[in-house]
Every structure is written in C-alpha cells, then in structure tokens.
Amino acid sequence: MEIRKKYILLCIILLCILQFVSFGQNYEGVYYVQDSTKAFGKILPKGQLIVDRETTTVWSIPISTTSITQSLQTTYNKVKIGGDELLSGAYLIEYTDGVNPLSESHPMESGDIIYIDTAATKFDSDRTILRTLSIGDNVAGEDIRDMFEYMYYTPPTISITISPITTVYEIGTTNSITISGTTTYYGDVLSNGAIKNGGGTITYYSFETSSNFSKNISFTPKETPVDTFDVTIYTFRAFQDYVGTESGVAQSSVITIYGVYPYFSLISNTDYSEASPTVVYNAFVTNKSVQAETISKTVSYTGTGYVYLLYPSVYGHITEILNPSGFDEFLSFTEYSVTITSTDMDVDYTDISYYMVKSDNIKYGLIAYSYTYNQ
C-alpha cells in the first residue's frame, strides 16, 4: 500500500514537472507515443511546431493533417519522398534551424515524448483588414484559416494621372504631358512596371520595380500619322507584375488623349462661303475652339455681320439653332461644305472637310449674343 502511494506521488510530481516545462516553454500540450502505429487523435493544422525535448529541435508539420500520426508517421507503408524510400515505422517531418527549412526522417518509438507548440502559428488578428468577402466569392483555401487570411491581403493597385489634365489637343500641334503614377502594395515583390497603351501592346516607359514613377511624353497628332507619337488617339495605362500571397498583373485605369480639328466661329461682313481653304482658316483662326465633338455647342457673338460656325463634317449636320430666347432660327441659316487648310502650325493639315453654318442675313449690333447649335 505504501509503495502504491509513493508511485502515485511520483506520477503527480512527474506530471507537474511536465506541465511546468510546457508552460515555461509556451507549449500547448505534451503527448506520449504509446504505439507508433496508432493515431493520437489530435488534429494539427498546417504549420504547427513540434519541440523535441531532448535536442530542443523545433519541427514544423509540413501539411494539413487529421492526426499527429498521419503527419509524423508513414506507418507501415513504404513511401517515396524525394526519391528516398522510408522504412516502416518512421515519420517524416520538416524542421527549421531558424533560418533554413530542412527535411529529415526520425524514428518514433513507444515511450517517446513529444511537445506540441502552437504559439508561433496562432492566428494574428491584430492587423488591418484590407478587403472583405462578398456573396459569391470563392477563397479557394484549405481551411477556415485561409478564409480569414484572405481578408488581410489585397493585390497591388496602380493609379496614374497626367499633367496638364487636358485630354484634347489640336491636330498639328506639338504637345508635352507628364504621366505620373503610384503602386500601392503590401509587401509584394514588384517587377516589369511599364506605361503602355491601353491594350498593353506598345511600351512608352519602363519603371520596373519602382512603386512611384513619372515620365514626360511629347506627341504631335497629325492628319496622316506615321509613328507612335503622331496618331490622333492616345491611350495610356500602367502595368506591373506582383508576387505575394497572390500573384498577377496590376493595371491602372486608361487615360485617353485625343487629337482633333477645332471648331471655328466668327461674326464678319465678309461672305466666306466660297473662299479658298487657307483664306477661311486665316480668317477664322483667332476664334477657334479646340474641343472634342459635341452634339450641342453654344457660341457668343459681339459685333455686326454674318454669324458663322465651322466644324468638321464628320460630326454630322446641325438640325437646330436656338437664339437666346429659345427660338429656333435654323431656317435663316445655310449650311455649306468647305475645306480648310491650316498655316504656320508645327505640322499643317490640308483640305480638311468642314461644314460652314452661316446666317443668311447680317446681324446688327450683337453684344454677347449666344446661339446654341444642336445636332
């Protein structure tokens, strides 16, 4: 009886020592190997640590498992791992020396003691949530942890701007803009950054791994383009590869710049309906408006003379001309087909087809008198 009491007391002391070691080392549990061929029944998530009591080696479980045995043992099956055949009754686990992960097989025998330490892999929720789940999303993870981790990562984003912010330029003029941008990312590895056209087929500038970039670009939209920087429509978009929790290509929105032929307006006593292309241009050049096509344009006139509006014929016909009172004077104007040839520009355009809308009669003493032309 006395021996039995001493045995019980000894067991209690041993358990207290094990608990002390466990808590002192931040171990979650202590487990005995009773039979190297049977499962412990303890579920271990991927990445948990095993601490060898004798050598203080830290072992990391390399895969998601359903039990300790399934993670540590090959049981009595012979398994090919990296070309090496493991013997029955051995377990394969991954350990780290703090710097380099290594693989090693280690025999497991009845009576062995192992420690399970999860402190290093407990879920850290003390972080900023970067994105949230929506109905229909598929995280495609292995467990609930992957679903939560999804919310603590967001792919890089790129934004670009241009200076000046003007997006419409007259054909035949040489212009310069600065395209600037920023990649917002959270620890990803960036590469292959570039400013390209909207479809990504033409590269204007490479910024590689930089997350901040700026490039000055000169261009001259021409009547007859011959290279990349003289077309009448330019598109700009930034691209950059990234590798992190996810990988892919970040893309900015597209900025589009247009080269256009201008609108012209004039009030004059001269009838230009049959004038030559250069005479028309020179007469109207001081009253041109460089803007994109519009279905409604309002022009203010001051003076005495015929009231004119000239615009590229590809825009279509005017169908309504409203005076300041809202009355339609369309029937008192006539539309003419003319051509315009520019002079003294960086690159002149020649014989461009225009519609000339001209009042049939001279208007007298107009002061900031507005006509609205509607298509």
Question: pLDDT of 267-291, one tens digit each?
Answer: 999 999 999 999 999 999 999 999 9
| Nearest Cα to Cα of residue 70 among 79, 95, 145 | 79
Rounded average pLDDT over 121-128: 74
Q: Which two tokens stand for residue 255?
A: 């900025």
* CATH 2.60.40.10 placement within the chain: 157-259
Least confident of 12-21, 149-158, 185-194, 262-271: 12-21
Average the pLDDT over 170-194 and give the result.
96
Q: Taking 90 as the threshold, does the pLDDT of residue 150 lie above it?
A: no
Backbone torsions φ then ψ of 288, nearest 5 degrees:
-100, 155
Would you give the distance in Å from CA 276 to the centre of its chain? Answer: 51
Range in 139-153, 161-175, 315-329 the model is least confident about: 139-153
Mean pLDDT of 16-20: 41
In the predicted model, is pLDDT for residue 333 greater than 70? yes
- 8 Å CB contact between 62 and 33: no
CA–CA separation, 308 and 297 (whole Å):
13
Does position 74 have pLDDT exceeding 70, yes or no? no
Nearest to 45 by CA among 106, 120, 136: 120
| Multiple choice CATH, 157-259, 1.10.287.130, 2.40.30.10, 2.60.40.10, 1.10.3720.10 | 2.60.40.10
Q: Is 293 helix (H, G, I), strand (E, B) or coil?
A: coil
- Sequence-distant (6+) residues with CB within 8 A of 38 are 69
Residue pair 374/323 in contact by the 8 Å Cβ criterion? no
Query: Residue 80: its pLDDT value, please?
Result: 30
What is the pLDDT at residue 25? 36
Instruction: Indicate the average pLDDT of the chain.
Output: 76
Evaluate if residue 108 carries a pLDDT over 90: no
Model confidence at 253: pLDDT above 60: yes
Contact 374, 295 (CB under 8 A): yes
DSSP string across 52-69:
-TTT--EEE--S--SSHH
What is the band of 67 on the pLDDT scale with cuts at 50, 70, 90? very low
Per-residue pLDDT, 40: 37
pLDDT tops 70 at residue 326: yes
Residue predicted with more confidence, 186 or 226: 186
Can you give the pTM of this predicted structure?
0.66
Of 174, 349, 165, nearest to 257 (Cα)? 165
Torsion angle in degrees (nearest 10) through CA of 143, 64, 153, 210: -160
